[in-house]
A and B are shown apart, each in its own frame.
Chain A
Amino acid sequence: MTKRHREWLFGYIFIGIWVIGFFIFTLYPIVQSFVFSMKSVRITTSGLEIIKNLGLQNYKDAFTYVYFLEALWNYILNTLITIPAIIVFSIIIGLLLNQKIKFRGIFRTIYFLPVIISSGPVLTKISEEGAMSIPSLDTNGFIGLLQNNLPLILADGITSLFSKIVLIMWFTGVPVIIIIAGLQKIDKAVYEAAAIDGASLWESFWKLTLPSIKPLINVIVIFSIVNISMFSSNEIMKIIDQRKLTQFGLANAFSWIYFLSTVIILLGFLGILNFNLNFLKRKKIRKLVKS
């Protein structure tokens, strides 16, 4: 056995457990879920009973199901509002915490606290009892002011943003830590050099800080979308949960539609973030060069 083959062997010994698990506990359920979503299935005490093949009928049913469509639409809107807010807030908080300040440890502890305690039931209970919206925002007529003076869609977006501000903040725990880790890796000398060249703080943020933490923003987007989509106070999850025992096939179709919409949102965000303006510029230059 050569050294290379030995490395192959031991590599697979170490990750073999994962490969087996991937087939049994991840891939097999995914495939099965897809198969079930095409069938009419009933769960009985003796086991699964497949009644008949439905083809795409379950999906058609899902798209005529008003409750589900409404929940899905709410989820998509919610994610589209929440994710940019999470990115902005986590960058702001990360920049603030990265400064030389006193009590940094205490602030970090407070900002990370929600990650520890936020589970579905806890958050549901808290928001049901009205602890999630800050009362002074509602009573001061601030939201009414917005609704009167802005176009309806914009006003709705902003009001829902403000009503969810605590919830959004609570999702920034891990992203903030990722941002701080990224900020600490940037060499301080670069900033000094920029300052000597006459760059203001604002300029060096856009030209230095942001480009160097950009890969981390991708990580944050992936993590946050997965985190939100797994969240059990989510309305779609409840709909799927309720049909788990009675309409198993339909529940699987729901979860596949949900999965695909999550992936589309994810790809959309990653596409926008990594859309390279230079690419267009280069094309123009190429055209100019050719002509």
Chain B
Amino acid sequence: MTKIKRGFIKIKEWMTKKYQSMKVKLKWSKLKSFVVKTIKNKKLMKSIFGKAAVYILLIIIGFIFLFPILYMISTSFKDINDLLDASVIWLPNTLYFANYQTALIVLGLPTKISEFFQMNALYQTIIVVGIPSITATLSTGLIGYGFARFDFPLKKFWLTCILIGFIVPQQVILLPQFVYFNNQLKILGTIWSYILPAATGQGLNAAVFILIFYSFFSMIPKSLDESAYIDGANEFKVFWHVGIKLSKQPIIIVFLFNFVWYWNDYYRASYFLTGSKWTTLPLKLSRFENAFGILVEQTDLQTTNLNEPLILAGTLLTVVPLLILYFVFQRFFVESIDRTGITGE
């Protein structure tokens, strides 16, 4: 016991000593002089204020960016009482999941686990969007490689044609395409109406992707393939080794952008897929009100009114797959673009 007591006393002594020494260190005059010094140091103050201003601006702008999404999330969980209650702004009193349940049914998405393995709107969208994205990535890679690595007559002319094709608004092209896909080619309403233009480098925003590949392949030194030619490789082999194996990063980036932009391209879907068995989630969303009306007539749902939370829940559901994709591959979306030279010199 005495040993323990002695130990305690020792610890106490040690602590009081420390405390006193800290007291000395924390004398107010010293602190004051420190503060005065920093304030008088103009350069330091400037940098502190500058940094603070930068952070405040970034946070404000970030809030403006996120505002619609936050609003969407918070509103989609409100029930009718919370919606009408003016005191409820951001946080609903109860998390009301019925909005999501109804929205899932209206959008044609699975509500039970057993329905997961059947074809639904989500899988359809992934197919309709994914296959053209893959073909467009391959074709634009090939075309970009051709423009970057070979010299041939009329090259400048074709490059200008790419730019012109980019500027022409979609509906100038889509209106006649809509007609002759239906009459001559007979591919309207099938997934081929997406794949064929994509495979020939005429898909959605294909010009941007061709230019990305073009500037990426232009950065690779030509001496690399010259040495390969001397070793007896032909052009296709060089394309395989330089064009594909060296350029995994731009390929992933182009694929992701293709996927996102095709997904969001409601216009094309409304032209090519209306009235067919294929659909995309944004197309479903644009007809949300109608689909809800039909659903109410056919079955008796619990909620029979089409209100703001329900629509926003539906909107959020069509966006969630893209958000997941974005957060998984965020690095590719945001950071590698400077490396592939989208800047288009």
A251 touches B175 (CB 8 A): yes
B165 touches A170 (CB 8 A): no
Q: CB of A203 within 8 A of chain B?
A: no
B266 touches A120 (CB 8 A): yes
Cross-chain contact of B176 among A32, A185, A216 (Cβ < 8 A): A32
Nearest neighbor of A172 in chain B, beta-carbon distance: B65
Number of A interface residues in the complex (CB < 8 A): 90
Cross-chain contact of B173 among A11, A26, A226, A263 (Cβ < 8 A): A26
Cross-chain contact of B266 among A20, A47, A101, A121 (Cβ < 8 A): A121
Cross-chain contact of B308 among A36, A118, A129, A259 (Cβ < 8 A): A129
Interface segment, one of B5-13, B28-36, B56-64, B115-123: B56-64
Instruction: Give bound CA distance, A209 to B175, whole Å.
Output: 43
Instruction: Give bound CA distance, A112 to B334, whole Å.
Output: 7
A-B contact count (CB 8 A): 262
A26-B285 CB under 8 A given contacts A119-B266, A132-B68 = no
Say how far A187's CB is from chain B's closest CB, in angstroms. Answer: 15
Nearest neighbor of A114 in chain B, beta-carbon distance: B65
Say how far A192's CB is from chain B's closest CB, in angstroms. Answer: 16
Number of B interface residues in the complex (CB < 8 A): 94
Nearest neighbor of B166 in chain A, beta-carbon distance: A226
Instruction: Give bound CA distance, A246 to B214, whole Å.
Output: 42
Instruction: Give bound CA distance, A216 to B343, whole Å.
Output: 7
B64 touches A134 (CB 8 A): yes
Q: CB of A181 within 8 A of chain B?
A: yes
Q: CB of B142 within 8 A of chain A?
A: yes
Q: CB of B97 within 8 A of chain A?
A: no
A120 touches B286 (CB 8 A): yes
Q: CB of A96 within 8 A of chain B?
A: yes
A266 touches B173 (CB 8 A): no
Q: Which residues of A contact B149 (CB under 8 A)?
A: 14
Instruction: Give bound CA distance, A29 to B181, whole Å.
Output: 11
Q: Which residues of A contact B201 (CB under 8 A)?
A: 17-18, 21-22
Q: Which residues of B contact A19 (CB under 8 A)?
A: 158
Q: CB of A113 within 8 A of chain B?
A: yes
Q: CB of A76 within 8 A of chain B?
A: no
Q: Which of B288-345 contact A (CB under 8 A)?
A: 288, 308, 311-312, 314-315, 318-319, 322-323, 325-327, 330, 333-335, 337-338, 341-345
A25-B200 CB under 8 A given contacts A12-B152, A17-B139, A101-B54 = yes
Nearest neighbor of B146 in chain A, beta-carbon distance: A14
Interface segment, one of A64-72, A229-237, A283-291: A229-237
Interface segment, one of A52-60, A102-110, A143-151: A102-110
B65 touches A170 (CB 8 A): yes
B202 touches A21 (CB 8 A): yes
Q: CB of B127 within 8 A of chain A?
A: no
A48-B342 CB under 8 A given contacts A33-B173, A125-B312 = no
Say how far A127's CB is from chain B's closest CB, in angstroms. Answer: 8
Cross-chain contact of A18 among B62, B75, B200, B265 (Cβ < 8 A): B200
Say how far A31's CB is from chain B's closest CB, in angstroms. Answer: 8
A30-B67 CB under 8 A given contacts A11-B146, A25-B197, A251-B175 = no
Q: Mark B262-301, 1 if CB is under 8 A from A, else 0.
A: 0111110011000000000011011010000000000000
A15 touches B169 (CB 8 A): no
B75 touches A129 (CB 8 A): yes
Say how far B144's CB is from chain A's closest CB, in angstroms. Answer: 9
Q: CB of A1 within 8 A of chain B?
A: no
Q: CB of B19 within 8 A of chain A?
A: no
A29 touches B176 (CB 8 A): yes
B169 touches A262 (CB 8 A): yes
Say how far B214's CB is from chain A's closest CB, in angstroms. Answer: 11
Q: CB of A158 within 8 A of chain B?
A: no
Say how far A198's CB is from chain B's closest CB, in angstroms. Answer: 16
A122 touches B285 (CB 8 A): yes
A122-B315 CB under 8 A given contacts A18-B201, A25-B196, A110-B66 = yes
Q: Which of A178-200 contact B (CB under 8 A)?
A: 178, 180-182, 184-185
On B, residues with C-beta under 8 Å from A are 51, 54-55, 57-58, 61-62, 64-69, 71-72, 75, 139, 142-143, 145-147, 149-153, 155, 158, 161-162, 165-180, 183, 196-197, 199-202, 208, 210, 235, 239, 260, 263-267, 270-271, 282-283, 285-286, 288, 308, 311-312, 314-315, 318-319, 322-323, 325-327, 330, 333-335, 337-338, 341-345
Q: A7-B151, A29-B180 are in contact. List 12 more A-B contacts (CB 8 A).
A: A7-B152, A8-B153, A17-B199, A17-B201, A29-B173, A99-B54, A166-B67, A180-B338, A181-B341, A232-B267, A255-B175, A256-B172
Can you list 18 residue pairs at the A/B interface with Cβ under 8 Å? Answer: A14-B149, A21-B201, A30-B173, A33-B173, A36-B175, A101-B58, A108-B334, A109-B327, A109-B330, A119-B266, A125-B311, A131-B71, A131-B312, A169-B64, A240-B171, A241-B270, A248-B179, A259-B169
Q: 6 tightest CB-CB pairs across the interface, nearest first?
A: A21-B200, A14-B146, A119-B264, A11-B150, A11-B152, A181-B338
